[in-house]
A and B are shown apart, each in its own frame.
Chain A
Amino acid sequence: MTTTTPEAAVPNPPGSTPLLEVRDLVTHFRSPRGLVQAVNGVSFSLQRGRTLGIVGESGSGKSVLSRSIMGLNPRSTSIRSGQVVFEGRDISDLDDSAFRELWGKQMSMVFQDPMTSLNPVMRVGRQITESLRHHLDMDRDQAKQTAIELLRAVRIPEPERRLRAYPHEMSGGMRQRVVIAIALACGPKLLMADEPTTALDVTVQAQVLDLLDEQRRDRFMGMILVTHDLGVVANHADEIAVMYAGRIVEKAPTSVLFHHMKMPYTQALLRAIPRIEMPSHTRLDAIGGRPPDLVNPPAGCAFSPRCPYAQERCFVDAPALQVDPADPSHSFACHFPLESPDQVPPAKPMEVA
């Protein structure tokens, strides 16, 4: 769009420039208790047509990260550095009015709670046509026809009739489909889905995840799927980044991550999930303790106080995210990764209350 940045001045053949490149992104918030280090140096890139899953517990910084990329964090209380490069253009310092041209048209977002992300006093139809008329300059009839097609694409029965409905007249699953239709309306290149199925029932969750996959493929979008559930990303992401205390602690293509897990934290997250194939009353491997306070993060590795494999070094020296020498697609931040000869067996039990 603009040619002020050197990256944008050089035309790139399609496919070679990543759709999104995040470089050393930092977002801190001022709070009465001190500086909250919510995102602390995150880098990754995403190609069109691919899905990146971002996984972590509450307080890991995953939602702040997605909002930072979208430019949705309050400016007055947040401090940020690093770069967000979208299609070769650095968007990290744009103001709201410049972002408004990107939101919806280039990048859009699906939030967790479909009830609060829709306007309760506006008919569904108008909420979809709003951005069509603004961004794509459609007239009323064109916008209406497009809205009907969108509702059909997200498999809402009787789309003509549904346009006149209010959000409260729909079930949670239907509402989330409407939110997805709105997000897709202007043909964005990047779709950010922040816990899109957490508020939904399991059968509806399966439908919505399949729908997101299908739309991502059909429209050749890049997708970032933020979730706390490794089960959700296992079958719906090409690559997974695990976040802990504001940093990416492990990142790999999905099957590599599941087969050659390096971070004890990733393993602990996976083991805490009750599995349907486990016999009833199987004792779960809970992760003891809690994620660290991001105002006073611990010295050394942030996971060390909860890590069964932690050794002295882990408490003083924070490991950097490093590339696995055996597999350049895999990176992790751990001094004593799983499957490594230096690792000593758990010194303390997994479960600490």
Chain B
Amino acid sequence: MAGSGSAHLRSPEHTLLRVENLVVEFPTKGGKVHAVSNISFDLLPGETLGLVGESGCGKSTTGRAVMQLPKPTNGSVVLDGRELTEMSNQELRRTRLQMQMIFQDPISSLNPRRKVADIVAEPLRIWKIGSDAEQKAKVSELLTAVGIDPQVASERRPHEFSGGQCQRISIARAVATEPKVIICDEPVSALDVSVQAQILNLLEDMKERYGLTMIFIAHDLAVVKNISDRVAVMYLGRMCEVGPPDELYANPAHPYTSALISSIPLPDPDAEQRVELLGGELPSPLDPPSGCRFRTRCPRAQEICAQATPGLAAIGPDHYVACHFPLTEPAPVPVAQPVLADRPAD
């Protein structure tokens, strides 16, 4: 299966989180939605994995399935040697202390009726971590760490803060219980570029300070490159390509990765940009194409792509691709030319 295979997984004794053959399907009236189809990935302690792809590729579903929200249809999620998919709800609740999430819309992910200090203290209160005084001190420390003045902010409510500040408060809440893994689901896509840069820098600082391991889900390739140690590109529920960011962006091997990278608008009017426009529409996840799921829009697709699903295979140090005809090899003959659009240089 495309994007399946475990060539890219590291030895289980080194990994903090290991996800294998993850499948998430949603039954609907119209049939089964194949949201995530058999993907695997792992995280070393302290590593940031960037999950990147367009709407509908299953990246957010993957993040939620790791949290068991809801439990995946199939597959295994092992955190620190413990299988999450087989846990009782009671055990899961306790284990979620080790995993926290940060969401896209910072304003709606904070309770508008509660004070900031209470929002950040809530996980500590629920788990009875420390005395009242210790909790208070911890909240001050956390708010200070995310760049919010606890003196000013503690008694205020979320609506008095901007989006960027609310996202800082969400980050403080997420690290309150000292989790091992943080899953960030599009944490900066609702923010302005200037604030986005502040939050990305803050996440790097928090990672260092609290020794966090992160899954960073986003659709913006430049943002993902900036923060990640390893990047996984997803398309229609499968993994196309995995690699270290500098290598993956310099030498994309999957035609989809290459199209994605070429589409980024460059803030430079002189840049010679050739956008590889993807033809067609994203196929329905109710009835995904056979074989490689990208084949219906791929300029290099051949007959075999409809018949056999390519697995992830190594094409360089720590660089894996799920493609029958990766860009590192000469194009199969005959090949349809990709649709290129020249950007006028005015």
Contacts and interface: CB of A to CB of B under 8 A. Distances in A.
Interface of A: 57-58, 157, 171-174, 201-207, 209-210, 213, 228-232, 234-235, 238, 254-255, 258, 268-270, 272-276, 278-288, 290, 351, 353
Contacts of A228: 192-193
A202 B220 contact: yes
B201 interface: yes
Interface stretch (B33-41, B82-90, B255-263, B288-296): B255-263
A275 B265 contact: no
Contact of B221 (A157, A202, A238): A202
A95 B259 CA distance: 47
A232 B264 CA distance: 9
B226 A284 contact: yes
Nearest to A278: B226
25 contacts: A57-B192, A171-B282, A202-B221, A205-B263, A209-B265, A228-B193, A229-B193, A230-B267, A231-B264, A231-B266, A234-B271, A258-B269, A272-B196, A273-B193, A274-B220, A274-B225, A274-B226, A278-B226, A280-B226, A280-B227, A284-B200, A285-B197, A351-B201, A353-B147, A353-B198
B24 to A, nearest CB: 21
Interface in B62-96: none
Contacts of B270: 255, 258
A4 B212 CA distance: 69
Contact of B267 (A172, A270, A283, A288): A270
A258 B201 contact: no
A225 to B, nearest CB: 12
Interface in B191-243: 192-198, 200-201, 204, 219-223, 225-229
B281 A254 contact: no
B278 interface: yes
A269 B268 contact: no
Given A203-B278, A275-B222, A234 B194 contact: no
Contacts of B196: 272, 274
Contacts of A278: 222, 225-226
B58 interface: no
B204 A283 contact: yes
A327 B183 CA distance: 50
A280 B225 contact: yes
A283 B281 contact: no
A30 B197 CA distance: 33
Contacts of B164: 290
Given A275-B222, A276-B249, A280-B228, A206 B197 contact: no
A203 B54 contact: yes
Interface string B149-172: 000000000000011100000000
A235 B194 contact: no
Interface of B: 54-55, 147, 162-164, 192-198, 200-201, 204, 219-223, 225-229, 244-246, 249, 259-261, 263-271, 273, 275, 277-278, 281-282, 341, 343-344, 346
Contacts of A353: 147, 198
A269 B194 contact: yes
Residue from the set B197, B201, B219, B227 with the largest chain A CB neighbour count within 10 Å? B197
Contacts of A288: 198
Q: Which 3 pairs of residues, A with B, have the shortest CB-CB distance?
A: A286-B197, A231-B265, A353-B147
Contacts of A254: 269, 346
B161 to A, nearest CB: 10
Contacts of A290: 162, 164, 195
B28 to A, nearest CB: 14
Contacts of A238: 346
Contacts of A280: 225-229, 244-246
B55 to A, nearest CB: 5
B107 to A, nearest CB: 12
A278 B224 CA distance: 12
B193 A172 contact: no
A353 B265 CA distance: 28
Contact of A276 (B198, B261, B341): B261
Contacts of A174: 281
B7 to A, nearest CB: 22
Contacts of B275: 206, 210
A172 B220 CA distance: 17
Contacts of A210: 275, 277, 341
Given A274-B200, A284-B201, A206 B226 contact: no
Nearest to B346: A238
Nearest to A202: B263
Contacts of B343: 235
B222 to A, nearest CB: 4
Given A57-B192, A228-B193, A207 B266 contact: no
A320 B54 CA distance: 43
A234 B197 CA distance: 20
Nearest to A280: B245
A205 B278 CA distance: 11
A93 to B, nearest CB: 34
A340 to B, nearest CB: 23
Contacts of A258: 267-270
